[in-house]
Amino acid sequence: MKLAIDGGTPVRSASWPSWPPPLSAGQRELVTEVLESGLWGATQGSLCTDLAAAFAARSAVPHGVTVGNATLGLFAALRGLGVGPGDEVIIPAYTFVASATSVILAGAIPVIVDVDPVDLHLSAAAVEAAVTPRTAAIMPVHLAGSPADMDALTAVAVRHGLAVVEDCAQSHGALYRGRPVGGLGDAGVFSFQASKAMTAGEGGVIVCRDEGVHARTWSACNLGRRLGGAWYGHPEVGWNLRLTEIQAALLLPWLDRLEEEIARRNAFCEAVERELGRLSVPWGPASAGSGAGGAGVSSSVEPDGSLPVTVVPQPPGTTLDSRHLLMLRVNAPVDREFLLAAMAAEGVPLDGGYPPLGTMSALTEAGARVEPCPAVEAASRTVVWVRQSMLMEEADGASDVVEALAKVLGADR
Ligand SMILES: Cc1ncc(COP(=O)(O)O)c(C=O)c1O
Please write the tens of the pLDDT for every residue from 256-312.
999 999 999 999 999 999 999 988 766 543 333 334 444 444 433 334 557 899 999
Tell me which of 231, 256, 281 is where a domain ends.
Answer: 256
169 lines ligand 1 (CB under 6 A): yes
Q: Would you call 221 exposed, middle or buried from its count of C-beta atoms within 10 A (0-12, 13-18, 19+)? A: buried
98 lines ligand 1 (CB under 6 A): yes
Residue 303 has a pLDDT of: 45
- Determine the atom of ligand 1 nearest the C-alpha atom of 71: 11
Residue 305 has a pLDDT of: 55
71 lines ligand 1 (CB under 6 A): yes
| CA separation for the pair 61, 80 (Å, rounded) | 16
| CA separation for the pair 144, 123 (Å, rounded) | 16
Range of the domain at 174: 25-256
Q: How far is the CA of 98 from the centre of ligand 1 (A)?
A: 6
For residues 316 and 335, the answer to whether their CB atoms sit within 8 Å is no
Q: How far is the CA of 73 from the centre of ligand 1 (A)?
A: 10
| Residue ranges, the chain, pLDDT below 50 | 284-303
User: Is 6 part of any domain?
Assistant: no
Q: How far is the CA of 101 from the centre of ligand 1 (A)?
A: 10
Residue 282 has a pLDDT of: 62
Residue 40 has a pLDDT of: 87
Q: For a substitution probing ligand 1, which of 115, 193, 199, 242 has the most ligand atoms within 8 Å of its CB? A: 193
Residue 280 has a pLDDT of: 78
User: Is 129 part of any domain?
Assistant: yes
Tell me which of 208, 234, 256 is where a domain ends.
Answer: 256
Rounded to the nearest 10°, the torsion over CA 406, 409, 410, 413 is -30
- Determine the atom of ligand 1 nearest the C-alpha atom of 191: 10
Tell me the catalytic residues: 196
74 and 144 in a single domain? The answer is: yes
Tell me which of 239, 256, 273 is where a domain ends.
Answer: 256
Q: For a substitution probing ligand 1, which of 96, 165, 205 has the most ligand atoms within 8 Å of its CB? A: 96
**Number of domains composing the chain:** 2
H/E element, 321: none
189 and 329 in a single domain? The answer is: no
- 355: which DSSP letter? P
Q: How far is the CA of 230 from the centre of ligand 1 (A)?
A: 32
- 295: which DSSP letter? G
179 and 282 in a single domain? The answer is: no
- CA-proximal residue: ligand 1, atom 8 (nearest): 70
